[in-house]
Amino acid sequence: MLKLVFIYSGEFMERVIRNLVNDPSFCKACGLYCDSCKYGVYTYARNILAALQLPNPSELPGFIDEPQEYMPKKIPEVDLCIASGLHKDLLLELPYYLKENGVKGLIVPIEDFTEVPTGLKNQLERECQETGLEYAFPKPFCSLEPQNNKPLISRFINELGIGRPLLEVSVTKGNKHDVVPSTVVIRSAPCGSTWYVAKKLIGVKIEKETIYDAVAKAHHSYPCTATMSVDPELKEPILHVGGYIIREEVEKALKKADASI
């Protein structure tokens, strides 16, 4: 069993944790029409040995000379750490802290480039290489895919079923239009939005404009947590990238089901 620790500040990581444990009070996107499509299907609560919340960066000094003083006093023996929303100086201390505590890998999702700008990400990469940590800095989190040279992170994606979305759809042929009668979530975006998108595809007419509209509305309604500010590296908002990803995966699923849009 893959053992995880979350070290974070802010609501985004709480959302990921609640999705992973499949908290039945978490997803309210369908409101009164909820049919509990995901509840009881999975839970990875046993994989999460600790979720440690650090002070919000706004509550800390701009520069921290002794970042180790703010780190958790101890953590359980785990394989992988997922970190988000941390003060920049604490984030830079994290690879050394994890190495000292026997942790083998680090994932830092980037949903907002102001939290982890490119220079900081590059410095983190160097520190992870120096300390021998396996690492990933997906921008956004739902872009994370398995890689042969990152077996630990690939285990995280495959065993917990989160990362870049992966769906299966069925197709019913009609006289005028084909429709989507059912969907299956194989791998969800870490925030859980893929379940909602998949549900909103049911009964949708298979034509490009209709499918695109259904995906975009569901993705925004859930809603996606990535920033709408233009990322200087991507040249567009990270939220838009998340929208492109789920749209591409829906198109792939339709193609696999022998339907074209």
Q: Which residue has the higher pLDDT, 140 or 260?
A: 140
Assess whether pLDDT exceeds 90 at residue 259.
no
Question: Between 167 and 26, where is the model more confident?
Answer: 167
Residue type, position 1, single letter: M
Domain boundaries, the chain: 4-160, 166-256
Average pLDDT over residues 161-184: 92
- What per-residue confidence (pLDDT) applies to 177? 83
- What integer pLDDT is reported at residue 173 of this predicted model? 85
CA angle 185, 222, 115 (to 5 degrees): 100
Q: What is the CATH T-level fold of the domain 4-160, as seen in this structure?
A: Rossmann fold (3.40.50)
pLDDT at 36: 87
pLDDT for 107: 98
Percent of the chain's residues with pLDDT above 90: 88
Query: Cβ neighbours of residue 50 under 8 Å, at least 6 residues apart?
Result: 5, 6, 75, 76, 78
Q: What is the pLDDT of residue 168?
A: 97
pLDDT value at 174 more than 80: no
Mean pLDDT for the chain overall:
95
Nearest CA to 2 among 58, 51, 48, 63? Answer: 48
pLDDT tens digits for range 195-245 = 999 999 999 999 999 999 999 999 999 988 899 999 999 999 999 999 999
On the question of a cis peptide bond just before residue 140, with omega within 30 degrees of 0, the verdict is: yes
Query: Quick one: 34 exposed, middle or buried, by C-beta within 10 A (0-12, 13-18, 19+)?
Result: middle
